Structure 1
Amino acid sequence: MIQYLGDILRNYPTLAVFLTVGLGFLLGRVRIGSFSLGSVTAVLLVGVIVGQFEIPMSGPLKTVFFMMFLFSIGYSVGPEFFKSLRGTGLKQVLFAILMSMSCFAVTIAISYIMGYSKGETVGLFSGSQTCSSLIGVGSEAIMKLPIDQGIKDKEIAIIPVCYAVTYIFGTLGTVILLGNFGPKLLGGIEKVRQQAVELEKSLENDSWKSDPSKLNAHRGISFRAYRLTGDLFKGGRTVAEAETFLSSIGLHVYISRVQQGDKIYVPTPSDVLGPEDIAVICGPRKYMVKVGQHAGIEVENRELLTYPVGRLPVLVTSRDIIGQTVATLMASPLMRGISIRRIKRKGKEISVKSSRLLERNDMLTLIGNPETLTEAGRMIGHADPPTTASDLMFVGLAIFIGGFIGTLTVWVGGVPVSFGTSGGALLAGIVFGWLRSKRPTFGQIPSPALWIMNNLGLNVFIAVVGIEAAPSFVSGLQSVGWLLFVAGAVGTTIPLLFGLWLGNKVFKFNPAITLGCCAGTRTCTASLGAVQDAIGSTVPAIGYTITYAVSNILLVVWGMVTVMLV
């Protein structure tokens, strides 16, 4: 049975990936007390087990999903990333420099203590710090050494073996240390979660609003049914007269539906309403709380209140609207039956005041009659209707542009410096996510789609890493011994503990940022996913982005220095 399963998985490698992801998520749900592996760690472990069948993996598969994950992360945190540059950005650069130095120093110390050769040290460094680019850089540096070609070949051949042996703990150990023990070392998981929530609020990142299991208790616009027995409608009033009177006393509302006997209809401004009628009056909640004293008695009328209401975000771009007050805009005939639910300016929600001057690129959320919303949107600027569809043109071109930029290499003192296609995808996500927040007329990616890109992208990547590394991990242990695995574990653990202390005690980062900085400096994307999963927040990605970019460069430099020193 086992042999038959192995044959199936070898013939159909995609099935091995889905099996690994499915079993990994199942194992990740298992809790023993307060401890659980989490989906990322579990997927990696299952991948190592499934990979014992020596399953061939398609080269582009891992990269495609990895880039998709990194782009989604960048897209999610883009606006907050640029805000953080004004505050903790430079500190994060310094953090990355100091922590990458500790990674280098610990590796060199282990190499001298254990007596490792140049090739073994490069493999140890690249695997324990999960920086695969060091394999190529280290091999190239060894090739340039003035030594016998046979020695060069031997040293270069041992690098990937040592990498495979140390990479498993380099990834898995980092995931467990940061995802499970990191929050506990920084004050406890609940404290870290709370501080992440507080930071989200300070960055105007109300991520709970995108959670489909939660809704905002405050409804900016209200729709209420009244029996028109108030003084306003004694003797009868036209709809226009009633709305004008209410507006004159500061209650900017409108009448959207009327029931007269058994007849329910949408009234015109000239229709006359009286005490026997029931009407739906709608508008901002702050006005609606005072309407009843003029209109009459509020009633429950499900049939009258059951009708579709449109919601349309509109970007202010019209020259005729820019510089107007909200009150002037609302006085326009096209705005009858429409309310402004919220105004967002530069990504931040501001109060809807009648005297508020509208600026270019303000985002207004309009609520009202679906038939009139479209015309109102054209008058104001550019409509951005809510949708369940993703802008795949935006996604595809953004990742291509970022990846293309990432392939460009700059040589600094003989050292190749580049972001790589993965780093480019992350950079593209940050930039295009920020652009989307500034001008939300393109690049729509609904939250459920972003969740799929994030979670499926990361876990398919991790599954392939585990499956690919499994055979060489076992053979590598037989070749170089278990002691190298222990050395790699030490090389992974000490810099991580130093980084947690550094971020918490020296730089005094928010704990979620400290965890993200440690994951970024270690260039271990899997650990970022584990941390986010553990604390239920994307805030750690703010600390990950800058440190990831800096460390990708610095670790390559340290790899060159390693070959010269050992």
Structure 2
Amino acid sequence: MDAIVLWLREVFLEPSVTQTIIILSLVCALGLQLGKLRIGTISLGITFVFFVGILASHFGVTTDPVMLTFAQNFGLVIFVYALGLQVGPSFFPSLKKGGIAQNLISLGLVLLTFLLCILLYYILGISMPNLMGIVAGATTNTPALGAAQTTLHQINPDATAEMAEMALACAVTYPLGVVGVIIALALLKVMMPKVEERDDSEAPKAFFSEYEICNPALDGKSVREVALLLKRPFVITRVWHNGKVEIPTSDMILYFGDHILAVSGEEDTSQLEILFGKREMKDWNRPDIDWNSVDKQLVSRRLVITRPKLNGVRLGMLKIRNLYGVNISRVDRAGVELLPDRDLRLQLGDRLTVVGEGKAVERVAEILGDEVKQLDNPHLTTLFGGLVLGCVFGMIPFYLPGVSMPIKLGLAGGPIIIGILMGAFGPRFHLTTYVTNSANLLLRQFGIILYLGGLGLASGANFFDTIIHGDGLLWVGTGFLITMLPTLLVGWASIKLLRNRYDGTAGMICGSTANPMALDYVNSQLKGDGASVVYATVYPLSMFVRIIFAQIMILIFA
């Protein structure tokens, strides 16, 4: 019996590498199970992992600190890098579709937070180092805490006790920093109950429309000549001539009275109607269209790009229409239909709808690959290479005028920026960044859960003692105010005054407060990647500004 007790103590209580893995796994599993509970319509989801870690640490469970720090930081790096890969293709187009405005709103939230901090400094008399610890916890921004501690150490190398108090202030306010943003987002959702879904992509959506050529100027012109008349991307996918449907080539001649089916951006249909003369009112975008009955003598197949050498190649460079007499009517990327414009860069995993004669379609299938099993093979070289670049980039010091110490983006900032760049530009350099949706979700969930479990175990030992004794309650109340007030004010203004969507506003708030746990809550409530795209859009600049402000506050007020 004694041997069993000693064995159980060794497995669960004596700090070691194995014991740390066991405890961390137990904390994560129990937290995920409790996260399924709902209070009304609100569920904290994976945030429960953090609280289970705090409770375990409070009741005396200790782990190997080096191993725990590694697991915590590695989980964070995996999460932010996978998030960057996911939103990378939509990141830069989002800047053109309101991303600059979202960044300005996010900076307004950051500025309001620090103005409130200065006000509380004079009203409550809390020291600025402790207040910076509170702000770091209330906004779940640990890089800002590290920057503030480093600045304080440069000013006063003997301020070891003050630096420890800063970390404790961050730890006791961190839980409500997480929960406070989630509560604020739940309240904002009540204000905006009807949430519009959002789809951001790197190219216009495909929209089908039928036209009759009534413009005499087009009679006798080739498809290539007609395409040059309009400075907007569109593709003629079918031509009805004398009652017979044909797949057009670039040299095919169009005649007065022909009917054509074109795919374009929906906003361009009015210009196409002016060009061709008359638009038919039949809705070709209905999901119940029987394309086989439309084409009859033609074959329509969905082919998947699985050849790595086609990754990043422009669609027009393949010259599929001219060489094989087939047409590409759709390009499906991760569930989003894109306009098959000749300048569209193809990516591994794209699904192309190809229409033409059977043998020609088979030849195109050989060119594209069309071997779905190949997509299941993970491209880990690019994944780990991106992690290396992200961590290295996060360690690069940036020197700013008037700031005595260099700024570093750290493990939270560097990987997400590299992930965005890899997702956006990797295919252009023939880097295979394709990850299935399920694999990306697994990486993100695994990373953030590992981070939360490690954070809870690391910060829970003195958590309740600090709250019950000393200034703990004052810190918690101050942190909750710093979390809730700016978030609600800016969120309300964004939705009600600026007429922004809830998903974009929620993503902006999560990114501005560097709160991936709240982002996971938002994503569990909504469909689409709208919140994640805005999160990644505002996150780098917001975190950078918070780090700078934290150091400036120490330099001025400490």
Provide the secondary structure at the position in 1 that maps to 2:500: coil
* 1:177 pairs with 2:177: no
* 1:387 pairs with 2:386: no
| Shift in Å, 1:445 | 1.0
Which one of 535, 545, 549 corresponds to residue 540 of structure 2?
A: 549
Which one of 447, 450, 465 corresponds to residue 460 of structure 1?
A: 450
Letter in 1 for 2:557: L
Letter in 2 for 1:111: Y
| Shift in Å, 1:70 | 1.1
Structure-2 residue corresponding to 1:535: 526
Provide the secondary structure at the position in 2 that maps to 1:387: helix
* CA-based RMSD: 4.0
Letter in 2 for 1:103: T
Change (3 A) 1:489 1:323: closer
Which one of 159, 172, 175 corresponds to residue 165 of structure 1?
A: 172
The separation in 2 between residues aligned to 1:70 and 1:495, in whole angstroms, is 25
Structure-2 residue corresponding to 1:495: 486
Deviations 1:367-398 (A, max 9, x none): 799999886456x5777855222211111111
The separation in 1 between residues aligned to 2:314 and 2:183, in whole angstroms, is 55
Which one of 54, 65, 69 corresponds to residue 48 of structure 1?
A: 54
Provide the secondary structure at the position in 2 that maps to 1:482: helix
The separation in 1 between residues aligned to 2:543 and 2:484, in whole angstroms, is 19
Aligned 1:473-492 pairs, distance under 5 A: 473-477=463-467, 478-492=469-483
Change (3 A) 1:371 1:65: farther
Letter in 2 for 1:65: G
Provide the secondary structure at the position in 1 that maps to 2:330: strand
Which one of 352, 375, 385 corresponds to residue 365 of structure 1?
A: 352
* 1:289 pairs with 2:293: yes
Check whether the contact 2:148–2:550 (CA below 8 A) recurs between aligned residues: yes
Letter in 2 for 1:516: G
Check whether the contact 1:84–1:542 (CA below 8 A) recurs between aligned residues: yes
Check whether the contact 1:96–1:517 (CA below 8 A) recurs between aligned residues: yes
The TM-score normalised by the length of structure 2 is 0.71
| Shift in Å, 1:443 | 2.0
Provide the secondary structure at the position in 2 that maps to 1:411: coil
Structure-1 residue corresponding to 2:127: 117
Aligned 1:81-480 pairs, distance under 5 A: 81-145=91-155, 152-178=159-185, 180-185=186-191, 187-188=192-193, 191-192=194-195, 195=196, 197=197, 199-200=198-199, 249-250=244-245, 288-289=292-293, 311-313=303-305, 315=310, 322=317, 324=319, 326=321, 328-331=322-325, 342-343=330-331, 349=337, 361=345, 365=352, 376=364, 380=367, 385=372, 387-412=375-400, 413=402, 414-435=404-425, 442-477=432-467, 478-480=469-471
Number of residue pairs matched?
458
| Shift in Å, 1:44 | 1.9
Check whether the contact 2:31–2:50 (CA below 8 A) recurs between aligned residues: yes
Deviations 1:238-277 (A, max 9, x none): xxxxxxxx9993367xxxxxxxxxxxxxxxxxxxxxxxxx
Structure-2 residue corresponding to 1:518: 509
Change (3 A) 1:364 1:156: closer
After alignment, is 433-442 or 116-125 more displaced?
A: 433-442
The separation in 2 between residues aligned to 1:329 and 1:343, in whole angstroms, is 19
Change (3 A) 1:507 1:439: farther
Check whether the contact 1:519–1:528 (CA below 8 A) recurs between aligned residues: yes
Letter in 1 for 2:120: I
Structure-2 residue corresponding to 1:277: none
Change (3 A) 1:445 1:348: closer
* 1:565 pairs with 2:557: yes
The separation in 2 between residues aligned to 1:522 and 1:71, in whole angstroms, is 18
Deviations 1:458-512 (A, max 9, x none): 1121111112111132243234332221111112111211221232234432211
Deviations 1:272-330 (A, max 9, x none): xxxxxxxxxxxx976631577x99xxxxxxxxxxxxx994327499999748573x444
Check whether the contact 1:520–1:544 (CA below 8 A) recurs between aligned residues: yes
The separation in 1 between residues aligned to 2:104 and 2:485, in whole angstroms, is 19
The separation in 1 between residues aligned to 2:527 and 2:398, in whole angstroms, is 38
Structure-1 residue corresponding to 2:499: 508
The separation in 2 between residues aligned to 1:68 and 1:482, in whole angstroms, is 34
Deviations 1:157-176 (A, max 9, x none): 32112121212212232234
The separation in 2 between residues aligned to 1:122 and 1:32, in whole angstroms, is 32
The separation in 2 between residues aligned to 1:539 and 1:481, in whole angstroms, is 37
Change (3 A) 1:101 1:322: closer
Letter in 1 for 2:384: G
Change (3 A) 1:481 1:517: same
The TM-score normalised by the length of structure 1 is 0.70
| Shift in Å, 1:515 | 0.6
Check whether the contact 2:245–2:295 (CA below 8 A) recurs between aligned residues: no
The separation in 1 between residues aligned to 2:519 and 2:72, in whole angstroms, is 17
Deviations 1:64-110 (A, max 9, x none): 12111112211111122111111212212211221111111122222
Check whether the contact 1:531–1:540 (CA below 8 A) recurs between aligned residues: yes
Change (3 A) 1:533 1:361: closer
After alignment, is 534-543 or 442-451 more displaced?
A: 534-543
Letter in 2 for 1:365: L
The separation in 1 between residues aligned to 2:11 and 2:312, in whole angstroms, is 58
Task: Structure 1 unaligned segments of length 5 or more: list them.
Answer: 207-245, 253-283, 296-308
Deviations 1:84-143 (A, max 9, x none): 111212212211221111111122222222211233222222222222223333233334
The separation in 2 between residues aligned to 1:66 and 1:345, in whole angstroms, is 27
Letter in 2 for 1:44: F
Check whether the contact 2:129–2:162 (CA below 8 A) recurs between aligned residues: yes
Change (3 A) 1:347 1:121: same
Change (3 A) 1:28 1:204: farther
Provide the secondary structure at the position in 2 that maps to 1:250: strand
Change (3 A) 1:537 1:8: farther
Check whether the contact 2:390–2:415 (CA below 8 A) recurs between aligned residues: yes
Structure-1 residue corresponding to 2:12: 9
Check whether the contact 2:304–2:369 (CA below 8 A) recurs between aligned residues: no
Which one of 65, 83, 87 corresponds to residue 75 of structure 2?
A: 65
The separation in 1 between residues aligned to 2:76 and 2:312, in whole angstroms, is 37
Change (3 A) 1:370 1:4: farther
Provide the secondary structure at the position in 1 that maps to 2:50: helix
